[in-house]
């Protein structure tokens, strides 16, 4: 098994972009998707070629293996990158649990506490010896621009990762550094999950631009036009609640504007200045409707989950709660009922000290 081999799970925008970029860099990539979503791999199933354009590697990327067989996918590498929406994390965990082997490492990109959900699923399945990790944001600003083509508009220059157990952090960082150079380490997966960028910006930004999105069907530039100075002020108040949760757990989380700047999205300054000066973000249009992952994912698996974790540790999050309540009306389902609860994350009832020990050792 090559030390440059990697299995990528997912068939969406970022999974295609990562698979193509790493293949063009010389890595042996196995690309896997669940059988029920095999159509996402259909355009490349025979050719095994993803055309990559943009600011990273460019050209026709030959993917080593394209499969819907989970046994084949997990046998291909000791390193697995899960690059799917948060609402698919549990399904992939349940499919993978019987076939993962001791010594493998699964990295959720991005995580939003997905590594904790995986940990609970694997524990209940009796799967042991697997290291879990998650990254704070996607490595690229990218989209599928044709069924067999991915475009990368920007490369995130500073990714952060948390590892479970945290004692394995440096080993996993060295393992993943050839794929995403310069990866920094958070204290643990909880700190990484609370540092995700999208849930801070998307629910508040989309709901405050709801009329514009519906009227234009997304034909306007979300970050450049939609994140105005006033909207940025509200987003930063959501961010203050996120950081308060972090403080209660002993973390000093970066403010969103500093996080955007450190990741290479835009110049230093307040949130509006950083976003407005971003060559990457200002090229992205709004979602075509309100029924998009910017709400259906970032509410239940972002701010709702954060709010429930905050509640367990005595932190009130009134603005997050307001956006979950309003957003639930807009998206047509209860964001609280669909949220990753502390029970789903396997941390219900823990106090701060018990949580710290679990995150450090992976043991209950």
Over residues 119-136, the pLDDT tens digits come to 999 999 999 999 999 999
In the chain (364 residues long), the average pLDDT of successive 10-residue segments reads 82 97 97 97 97 97 98 98 97 98 97 97 97 96 95 91 98 96 96 96 97 95 95 98 98 95 90 91 90 96 98 98 98 96 98 98 93
Whether residues 12 and 156 share a domain: the answer is: yes
pLDDT the model gives residue 158: 86
Whether residues 339 and 269 share a domain: the answer is: yes
**Overall domain count for the chain:** 2
Note the pTM of the prediction, 2 decimals: 0.94
pLDDT the model gives residue 284: 85
Whether residues 173 and 131 share a domain: the answer is: yes
Read off the CATH number of the domain in which 71 is found.
3.40.50.720
The residue range of the domain holding 12 is 5-193
Whether residues 166 and 140 share a domain: the answer is: yes
Whether residues 142 and 226 share a domain: the answer is: no
Whether residues 223 and 83 share a domain: the answer is: no
Whether residues 161 and 207 share a domain: the answer is: no
Three-state secondary structure of the chain? CCCCEEEEECCCHHHHHHHHHHHHCCCEEEEECCHHHHHHCHHHHCCCEEEEEECCCCEEEECCEEECCHHHHHHCCCEEEECCCHHHHHHHHHHHCCCCCCCCEEEECCCCCHHHHHHHHHHHHCCCCCEEEEECCCCEEEEEEECCEEEEEEECCCCEEEEECHHHHHHHHHHHCCCCCCCEECCCHHHHHCCCCHHHHHHHHHHHCHHHHHHHCCCCEHHHHHCCHHHHHHHHHHHHHHHHHHHHCCCCCCCHHHHHHHCCCCCCCCHHHHHHCCCCHHHCECCCCCCCHHHHCCHHHHHHHHHHHHHHCCCCCHHHHHHHHHHHHHHCCCCCCCCCCHHHHCCCCCCHHHHHHHHHHCCC
Read off the CATH number of the domain in which 262 is found.
1.10.1040.10
Whether residues 172 and 222 share a domain: the answer is: no
pLDDT the model gives residue 274: 94
Whether residues 205 and 101 share a domain: the answer is: no
pLDDT the model gives residue 1: 45
Whether residues 129 and 78 share a domain: the answer is: yes
Last residue of a domain, one of 193, 220, 252: 193
Whether residues 148 and 216 share a domain: the answer is: no
Whether residues 90 and 160 share a domain: the answer is: yes
Half-sphere exposure of 117 (CA within 13 A, CB side): 23
Last residue of a domain, one of 143, 171, 193: 193
Last residue of a domain, one of 161, 193, 225: 193
């Amino acid at each position: 098994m090559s030390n440059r081999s990697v299995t990528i799970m997912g068939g969406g925008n970022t999974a295609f972009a990562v698979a193509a970029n790493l293949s063009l860099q010389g890595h042996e990539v196995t690309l896997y998707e669940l059988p029920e979503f095999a159509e996402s791999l259909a355009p490349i199933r025979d050719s095994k070629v993803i055309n990559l354009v943009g600011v990273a590697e460019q050209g026709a990327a030959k993917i080593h293996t394209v499969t819907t067989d989970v046994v084949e996918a997990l046998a291909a590498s000791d390193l697995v990158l899960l690059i799917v929406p948060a609402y698919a994390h549990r399904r992939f965990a349940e499919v993978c649990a019987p076939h993962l082997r001791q010594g493998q490492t699964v990295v959720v990109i991005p995580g939003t506490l997905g590594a904790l959900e995986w940990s609970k699923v694997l524990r209940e399945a009796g799967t042991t010896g697997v290291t879990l990790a998650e990254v704070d944001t996607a490595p690229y600003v990218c989209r599928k621009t044709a069924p067999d083509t991915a475009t990368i508009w920007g490369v995130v220059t500073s990714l952060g990762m948390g590892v479970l157990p945290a004692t394995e952090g440096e080993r996993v960082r060295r393992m993943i550094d050839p794929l995403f150079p310069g990866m920094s380490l958070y204290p643990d997966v909880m700190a990484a999950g609370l540092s995700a960028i999208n849930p801070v910006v998307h629910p508040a930004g989309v709901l405050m631009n709801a009329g514009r999105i519906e009227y234009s069907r997304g034909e306007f530039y979300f970050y450049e036009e939609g994140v105005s100075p006033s909207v940025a002020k509200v987003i930063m108040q959501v961010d203050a609640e996120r950081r308060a949760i972090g403080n209660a757990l002993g973390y000093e989380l970066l403010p969103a504007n500093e996080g955007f700047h450190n990741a290479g999205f835009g110049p230093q300054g307040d949130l509006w200045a950083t976003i407005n000066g971003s060559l990457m973000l200002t090229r992205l249009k709004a979602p075509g409707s309100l029924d998009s992952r910017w709400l259906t994912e970032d509410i239940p698996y972002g701010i709702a989950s954060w709010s429930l974790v905050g509640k367990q540790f005595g932190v009130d999050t009134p603005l997050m709660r307001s956006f979950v309540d309003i957003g639930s009306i807009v998206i047509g389902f209860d964001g609280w009922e669909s949220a990753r609860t502390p029970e789903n994350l396997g941390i219900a009832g823990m106090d701060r000290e018990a949580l710290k020990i679990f995150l450090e050792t992976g043991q209950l």
